[in-house]
Amino acid sequence: MSRVAPPISASAPDLVTDAQVVDPDHGGVPGADQRNFALLVMHQVLFRIGWVFKTESIVMPYFLDAIGGGPIIRSLLMVLNRLGASVPPALYARRLKLMKQKRWSLYATTTGSGVPFAIIAAVWWSEVWREADGSVAPWTKWFFLAMYAWFFVVTGLNQLSLQVIQGKLVRANLRGRLFTAGVVIGSPLSILAVWLLMPGWLARPDGFALIFAAPAVLFFLSGLAMLAIRETSDSYTEVREPGWRRLVRAARLAFEDPKLRPVAISAVLYSAAFTLFPHYQAMARESAGEAFNIQSLVTWTITQHTAVAVISFLAGPIADWFGARRAVQMTMFGAALAPFTAIFLAKGAGLGDGQAFWLVFLPLGCTPVTNKMLLNYTLELVGREHHTLYSSSIGLCLALPVIVMSPIVGVLVAWLGAAPVFVLMATILLAGGVQSLWLAETRTKE
């Protein structure tokens, strides 16, 4: 018998429960819980190892600067990032909801995430990007941005698919554990891969081809793990509507649902963190001056992913035991320390040589954890049939301010320098942390 989701108004207050865990109807095949959990961990581990080679705060902006970017073009990385993470998922949400088995979506989008990196690797290896005099052709940076946009459209669909299949197969009080397992296992392996491979690759003239090929291969392997997932078939129906109307409904829902509104405001304020991502490595390079060594990229990458692992090791159990709300509050205040630390190390007494700048990437490790915890908290507010819409709604809140502000931040960094812009964004992040104190509790004492 088909399960028909009730119509959702813009406010939908009746969908949100008070002070209880919303544990969805279990969508796994009986007896397959441990198998599915292990496969989802494997998926996340492999994906994380691939992701480490294209970190938005380090590797990608450095590469873009190397091929002719600058503060304004560099800021487009986060515009493309957040566009892909918001609009395509909102348009895709209905199709994903009606899909009988969600694993096929996660498989296709995970393997598809590697395709643009495979193309970039092939182009860089072929050296067609070189002019006759050996310089970088002007079209190279625009080609890179186009591939990057493609990647984040597919990755946006991938993250929504992961949220939905996690809501279907993993109970609410185990989702933090799933996230922690993926990070605590994946981060050491990612760090080992960077430590063993990246120094040698960065030293080679064709090294970036290998750096781009790594995520292509690992995303493909990560997708294969989804073929072994065992889930029951869903049978939902939902009225067809134009994609733009669903976008509008998701945006309205964020501020008209009384329980979702505090999450939406926190997400909007927190999104300031993403606008600064591409500029950290540039601030470090400017601080170091002629003393800058390209191998610093390895140190920064290892530091950030070590921090992610440690913070996740704390945030995951806190989310399981006390609710995702507590984890959100902890990581949001932690993320606000990153821009303040960057300013101090770049301008502080005796630290202007950039040698201590690796410390910035410790609090920066809070950023991806906060993003995940905000979405996990959203899953606790509603039943499984509404996970796609509510996740899309918060995704828009995390994305739209970045899309608008990132080019402005790029212009301001070019005009005023990084320090005053970092102070402004850090203040907004602190306001987001304060706002998170008003999030509703979703867990009972039991």
In tens, the pLDDT along 250-263 reads 888 888 888 888 88
What confidence tier does 380 reach under pLDDT thresholds 50, 70, 90?
Answer: confident
Q: Is residue 10 part of a domain?
A: no
The span from the CA of 443 to the CA of 446, in Å, is: 8
**0.95 exceeded by the pTM?**
no
Return the H-helix or E-strand segment holding 4: strand 3-4
Whole-angstrom Cα Rg for the chain: 21
The span from the CA of 282 to the CA of 58, in Å, is: 9
CATH classification at residue 333: 1.20.1250.20
Better pLDDT: 333 or 418: 333
Better pLDDT: 379 or 19: 379
Q: Is residue 13 part of a domain?
A: no
Q: Is residue 3 part of a domain?
A: no
What is the structure's pLDDT at 114? 94
Q: What percent of the chain is predicted at pLDDT more than 70?
A: 89
The span from the CA of 172 to the CA of 429, in Å, is: 27
What is the structure's pLDDT at 27? 54
Q: Is residue 244 part of a domain?
A: no
The span from the CA of 357 to the CA of 288, in Å, is: 9
What integer best gives the mean pLDDT of the chain? 82
Asked if pLDDT for residue 330 goes beyond 80, the answer is yes
Mean pLDDT for the stretch of residues 56-62: 81
Q: Is residue 414 part of a domain?
A: yes
Strongest mean pLDDT among 61-65, 93-97, 367-371, 408-412: 408-412
CB 124 within 8 A of CB 140: no
Structure tokens that stand for 409 in this block: 């931040």
Per DSSP, helices labelled H in 237-383 are 243-256, 260-270, 272-276, 280-288, 296-322, 324-335, 337-347, 366-379
* Digit-coded pLDDT (tens) for 207-220: 889 999 999 999 99
Q: Is residue 388 part of a domain?
A: yes
- 4 has which bridge partners? 237
* Digit-coded pLDDT (tens) for 140-180: 999 999 999 999 999 989 988 988 888 888 877 787 788 77
Q: What percent of the chain is predicted at pLDDT more than 90?
A: 23
Side-chain-side CA neighbours of 147 within 13 Å: the count stands at 22
Asked if pLDDT for residue 351 goes beyond 70, the answer is no
Q: Is residue 258 part of a domain?
A: yes
Looking at the structure of the chain, the number of domains it has is 1
Mean pLDDT for the stretch of residues 215-231: 92
DSSP letter assigned to residue 240: -
Q: Is residue 56 part of a domain?
A: yes
CB 228 within 8 A of CB 41: no
**Residue-number span of the structural domain to which 313 is assigned:** 25-235+249-436
241: left (phi over 0), alpha (psi -120 to 50) or beta: beta
- Report how far apart, in Å, the C-alpha atoms of 33 and of each of 38, 118, 161, 319, 418 are: 9, 34, 18, 20, 48
The span from the CA of 142 to the CA of 283, in Å, is: 23
